[in-house]
Amino acid sequence: PRLWLIVPAAGIGQRMGAEQPKQYLRIDERFILDITLSRLMDSAPFAGCMVPLHPADRWWPDTEARSDSRIQTCTGGSERACSVLAALRALAEQSDDQDWVLVHDAARPCVHTADLANLIDSVYEHPVGGLLASPVADTLKRAGAGELPEVESTLDRRGLWRALTPQMFRYRLLVDALEAALDAGVEVTDESSAVEFSGNMPVLVEGRPDNIKITVPADLALANFILGQF
């Protein structure tokens, strides 16, 4: 099976609150989206890459990725899962059912190439797929229903993991899972949750916890620091 890459970049970065979507903010003068794309495309033998963009995107023409012939774009959707499904459909003619699709957030430029390689190696023979994840380090509380919520319980964090990306799934299984989950109206915050909803259980592959998603302004400074360590 071949490897395909999808990097959803159709979000507007509401929580970042910047003038432009966060994937088009710059770290060391490069767009975050370019850092993410070049890091991944240079590290694994992808057959191609699809990047869903917002219908009103005006920044893509200024990217470095624009001139990489392996990278194509399509129009994304109103939710992340819709953007990923749009990208999968845009790859339909080129891909086979058993091919692998890796989905990675545009807003995660700090992904380590060793983790990417480890994910691919660990999952390549698996029938379903898997995802990078990191054991939870925080103490987690479940809140009660009150207006000023009181602690109802402390979760046992042993066995709890934080889902990261890339997430890697068989092409047909992922298309079917996303379609079914969106049809059913279940919340799909990552590919794995859709696949789980379809009754298939992905593999957890431990990845570095510094593979952060840039969400709020403080994450930008953190990502800058992490990238400086490489």
Stretch that binds ligand CTP, among 60-68, 73-81, 139-147, 173-181 (CB under 6 A): 73-81
Residue reference for tokens 């939710």: 79
166 binds ligand CTP (CB under 6 A): no
Residue 77 in contact with residue 179, Cβ under 8 Å?
no
Please, how many CA atoms are within 13 Å of residue 1, restricted to the half-sphere of its CB?
Answer: 24
Contact partner at residue 13 from Mg ion, ligand CTP, none, CB < 5 to 8 Å by partner kind: ligand CTP
Site for ligand CTP in 125-164 (CB under 6 A): none
Total residues in contact with ligand CTP, by rule CB under 6 A: 22
The residue within the footprint of ligand CTP, chosen from 6, 31, 73, 105 (CB under 6 A), is 105
Q: Where in the chain does DSSP place strands (E)?
A: 3-6, 26-27, 30-31, 48-53, 71-75, 100-103, 129-135, 141-143, 151-154, 161-170, 203-206
Among residues 126 and 227, whose Cβ is nearest to ligand CTP?
227
Q: What is the spatial distance between Cα 31 and Cα 45, in angstroms, rounded to a whole number?
A: 23
Q: State in angstroms the smallest separation of the CB of 11 from Mg ion.
A: 5
Judge if the upstream peptide bond of residue 166 is cis by omega within 30 degrees of 0: yes
Stretch that binds Mg ion, among 9-17, 44-52, 137-145, 198-206 (CB under 5 A): 9-17
Residues of the shown chain interacting with ligand CTP in the complex, contacts defined by CB under 6 A: 8-15, 21, 23, 52, 76-80, 83, 105-107, 213, 215
